[in-house]
Structure 1
């Protein structure tokens, strides 16, 4: 019997699918900015405008210093009761005091300098308590309320006041208008030694997006403006793909034009709002069966041959999607020859729900599973995921045709995933042309 057909049932307590709520072991490390120090020493109108002209010209954060750690300065200008820096996975209710910007005396400039790695990349926002209208949409506020409830459900009562204060502040978050980058979650920044992003063409030839009929799934196929050749399209299953495609409709066309993947038909899946997504992406054999049905029906939908072999079929996802990508490969190794698992939720299930943690790792370890190509990556700031992912890496060693493992300087963050995903997909799909890849690669940016 296939041991992966019977994961822990989600019919039990809802907290089983809520991440363990572990606080950070340390707060933000404050740095010093020569630019801010110079402004504080000479807060004249001319100096204020010169400082702000620099902000507008080079963007934020201002990055100063050299060596493995750099000083990143985040700024805001205007009247406010308080301003906080919300950096994904570096700031939460336990570290909020370290994330408050300070007003430079004699000016209307607020600044906070934090010390981060030269290779750091991340998403951030500014929470500005100034009495103006909230920048978040009604849908974003509703999802924030769901997240508040999930956090409260696994936190002790003594932590509830700080969590309420934290989520109240998050309601005031807004993008940084001077940010040098953006991600699915808002403003983004990268240090001077952050892993390079894949260079994409600015105006790729548009492909086609075709509805994928299915009674239970919101799915679309994307095919680029290419000839797949007599062997037909390779297949990429992109979990949460609707978020990527809706945010950047030309993304998959850019991947094709830049040679990220061979001629590929991409199955773009959506999983609904937060609670529905959690139910769908926690080792759900029904989801995998539906994906197989969609792939089997693809030739008729696309009017062209589609690969039916594992060596030409890849599944990729992030967070719970990363967990599900590897689960699909374990459940159906004859259908999915490669998986890309970014920041996979390999802690699942939360033991507070009554089941032991890290079910997928334990099940792999206790089985005779043999997998094809697996790419794991996790951020060094993902303190809930880092150790489970390292343990999974050790379990998978020797069980895969090719295993790649990457640690990056960042958190549970779409900015990091967007930078790493093209490289990971290229790695796991070029085996036929490139003759394979090293069995294990460890990198710490």
Structure 2
């Protein structure tokens, strides 16, 4: 289900159309089948050049941005209005959020060595030398981790409420917030 909470004095969001629970959002035409040796398994990655392409914006939890929120529509609108430059959106779905988005190098090695070459081979206009990673919650922590541990790969991050408290053992603790102050990333 979709739900949006906004107060009467919330700033306008002209590029994000209202979406009803029964609405079907448009999907990007470019669909890549990524079989990852590093991560194991196969996933479908969607790619959308907003405004003709530009820096790659890797959206973690990509399926949420495809099926629950109209990200492609919002980016198209913002680029068309001149409020942001063209970008190429890459919607990366998670198979196992805790395993992939935790502070572990496997995901980012796979992105560097497998996914970015796959995107380049697709012919979609993109500047893979400028990778922006966007994530929320555990995905936000993963974006921060990528910026710290893979600075040659990630040029910018956008994090919404990153789970900076998280540690790999957190899910098994009686008090998941009882780990080191600032979690694994801060402990580095």
Q: Please, what TM-score do these two structures have when normalized by structure 1?
A: 0.34
The alpha-carbon deviation at position 326 of structure 1 amounts to 0.5
**CA offsets per residue over residues 370-418 of structure 1, 9 Å max, x none?**
xxxxxxxxxxxxxxxxxxxxxxxxxxxxxxxxxxxxxxxxxxxxxxxxx
Contact 1:207/1:253, CA 8 A, preserved across alignment: no
Q: Which residue of 1 aligns with 2:13?
A: 197
Task: Name the CA distance, whole Å, in 1 between partners of 2:49 and 2:184.
Answer: 37
Contact 1:201/1:258, CA 8 A, preserved across alignment: no
Task: Name the CA distance, whole Å, in 2 between partners of 1:321 and 1:222.
Answer: 19
Q: Which residue of 2 aligns with 1:176?
A: none
Q: Which residue of 1 aligns with 2:107?
A: 287
Residue 70 (structure 2) pairs with residue 246 (structure 1): no
Contact 1:315/1:340, CA 8 A, preserved across alignment: yes
**CA offsets per residue over residues 198-252 of structure 1, 9 Å max, x none?**
43479xx985232242233524132246434xxxx3101100011110124x531
Partner residue of 2:165 out of 329, 347, 350: 347
Partner residue of 1:356 out of 172, 180, 186: 180
Structure 1 residues without counterparts, runs of 5 or longer: 1-184, 364-445
Which is helix-richer, 1 or 2? 1
**CA offsets per residue over residues 293-318 of structure 1, 9 Å max, x none?**
201221212x1453232xx2100110
Cα distance change, pair 219–290 in 1 and its aligned pair in 2 (3 A)? farther
Residue 41 (structure 2) pairs with residue 220 (structure 1): no
For 1:7-156, list aligned pairs within 5 A. none
Partner residue of 2:145 out of 321, 324, 327: 327
Q: Which residue of 2 aligns with 1:440?
A: none
The alpha-carbon deviation at position 345 of structure 1 amounts to 0.5
Contact 1:206/1:224, CA 8 A, preserved across alignment: no
**CA offsets per residue over residues 102-124 of structure 1, 9 Å max, x none?**
xxxxxxxxxxxxxxxxxxxxxxx
**CA offsets per residue over residues 117-157 of structure 1, 9 Å max, x none?**
xxxxxxxxxxxxxxxxxxxxxxxxxxxxxxxxxxxxxxxxx
Q: Which residue of 1 aligns with 2:21?
A: none
Rg comparison, structure with higher value: 1
Contact 2:49/2:89, CA 8 A, preserved across alignment: no
Contact 1:212/1:294, CA 8 A, preserved across alignment: no
Contact 1:316/1:341, CA 8 A, preserved across alignment: yes
SS in 2 for 1:213: strand
Cα distance change, pair 212–356 in 1 and its aligned pair in 2 (3 A)? same
SS in 2 for 1:255: helix
Task: Name the CA distance, whole Å, in 1 between partners of 2:127 and 2:62.
Answer: 20
**CA offsets per residue over residues 307-358 of structure 1, 9 Å max, x none?**
232xx21001101001001101111111111101111100011394896342
Q: Please, what TM-score do these two structures have when normalized by structure 2?
A: 0.74
Contact 2:55/2:126, CA 8 A, preserved across alignment: yes
Q: How many residues align?
A: 167
Contact 1:256/1:262, CA 8 A, preserved across alignment: no
The alpha-carbon deviation at position 187 of structure 1 amounts to 3.8
